[in-house]
Amino acid sequence: MIDTEGLTKKFGNLIAVDKLTLHVDAGEIFGFLGPNGAGKTTTIRMLCCLISKTSGTATIGGYEIGNKENSLKIRKLIGLVPDNVGLSEHLSAYDNLNFFGKIYDCTEAQRKDSIKRVLEMLGLWEKRHVLAGTYSKGMKQKLAIARALIHDPQILILDEPTANLDPEASKTVRDFILQLKGEKKTIFLNTHNLDEAQRICDRVGIMNTKLRAIGKPQDLEPMASGRKTVIALEQVTDDVVKALKKIALKNLTVEGNTLTFDVFDPDKENWPVVETIVQVGGHVRTVNVVGLDLEDTYLKLVRSSA
């Protein structure tokens, strides 16, 4: 649904996005992670045809960006929630959505049905006639999400959608995003919230001008290394240590009756170790894997690329 190949954006001598290549499947929630200034928002603006690319290619729903004839087609395919919500604060929530529905050539019946649906889902229906300017920051953010969905787009692009929201409102938005996935929407999510990414994203990309890593959240954890297996025995004997040295474990250490070693794929690597211990008369009490979570991986990859 979204494809880029060597997508690059320069502002003078500054490279904001450097040769970005990625693919986002239809119906996928893709999380785009990175620090401020990493090029995430610049990428979104290029994909939404709001700014031009410097080089490379990108297609949205099969339409190539940078082609004037395709710009309007792409904008009809996508719904954008920008980092600055930019609502008409002198209009009510209902009138804001009705106005944007007209821009997208939605019929009156379509606008009524869509406005009611999205405002109810986001908990704003009872406040539909209240001026947007009187809304709290969190309510404005939810209204911006509703606005992006008014024309029933195939692709939803969100730039920090739960920023400024309290935990309850954030959960409402996350649940809403998951419901949209159930409706086969494709969702491209810029976020600093790593817990959020792990909860709802099918895959994530870690960006810092260049794309540093991409994959399922659980698959990225070992990419920056740091996983270890910790095995507690009733007693670590000389026979156990000798046997384990023969299978060339990485960074094997012994502290009391606890063995620790580096591991990349614990599901494959731990069983032969346990089997070796048992064969020489050892008694295993516990086996645990410790190491990096997505936040640790994110920080390590970003810092190593700085």
Domain that holds residue 284: 227-290
pLDDT at 224: 47
Phi, psi of 17 (to 5 degrees): -130, 125
136 and 193 assigned to the same domain = yes
122 and 211 assigned to the same domain = yes
CA dihedral 56, 58, 64, 69 (to 10 degrees): -80
CA-based nearest residue to 192, from 49, 83, 306: 83
177 and 258 assigned to the same domain = no
Report the C-alpha gap between 87 and 65 in whole angstroms.
26
Number of structural domains (the chain) is 2
Domain final residue, candidates 217, 246, 271 = 217
231 and 207 assigned to the same domain = no
pLDDT at 235: 94
H or E segment to which residue 195 belongs: helix 194-200
> For residue 295, is it within any domain?
no
Instruction: Give 306's pLDDT tier (boundaries 50, 70, 90).
Output: low
15 and 145 assigned to the same domain = yes
CA-based nearest residue to 149, from 161, 134, 131: 161
- Please give the C-alpha separations between residue 49 and each of 3, 68, 69, 191, 245, in angstroms, as whole numbers: 14, 9, 11, 21, 58
128 and 60 assigned to the same domain = yes
Total Cβ atoms within 10 A of residue 208: 22
Report the C-alpha gap between 52 and 10 in whole angstroms.
10
Rounded average pLDDT over 299-304: 67
Report the C-alpha gap between 266 and 264 in whole angstroms.
6
Across 209-249, where does the E strand assignment appear? 210-215, 228-233
The first and second tokens of residue 25, run together, are 């499947």
CA-based nearest residue to 11, from 44, 40, 39, 50: 39
Which span out of 54-58, 81-85, 204-208, 242-246 was modeled with the highest average pLDDT? 54-58
Report the C-alpha gap between 102 and 68 in whole angstroms.
22
pLDDT at 222: 54
CATH of the domain at 155: 3.40.50.300
Report the C-alpha gap between 226 and 157 in whole angstroms.
33
> For residue 304, is it within any domain?
no
CA-based nearest residue to 161, from 151, 172, 153, 61: 172
Rounded average pLDDT over 286-298: 72
123 and 246 assigned to the same domain = no
CATH of the domain at 283: 3.30.70.100
Rounded average pLDDT over 30-44: 90
For residue 280, pLDDT beyond 90: yes
Report the C-alpha gap between 279 and 247 in whole angstroms.
13
> For residue 303, is it within any domain?
no
> For residue 298, is it within any domain?
no
163 and 232 assigned to the same domain = no
**For 140-156, how does the pLDDT look when each residue is reduced to its tens digit (9 = 90+)?**
888 999 999 999 999 99
Could you tell me the maximum CA-CA distance found in the chain, to the nearest angstrom? 81
Q: What angle do CA 302, 303, 306 make, to 5 degrees?
A: 90
27 and 149 assigned to the same domain = yes
278 and 207 assigned to the same domain = no
> For residue 222, is it within any domain?
no
pLDDT at 10: 96
% residues pLDDT > 70 (the chain): 92
CA-based nearest residue to 185, from 25, 17, 11: 25
- Of the ranges 63-67, 120-124, 168-172, 245-249, which one carries the lowest mean pLDDT score? 168-172
Does the pTM exceed 0.95? no
110 and 254 assigned to the same domain = no
pLDDT at 2: 96
78 and 120 assigned to the same domain = yes
Domain final residue, candidates 165, 194, 217 = 217
The first and second tokens of residue 282, run together, are 């050892």
CA-based nearest residue to 221, from 290, 293, 270: 293
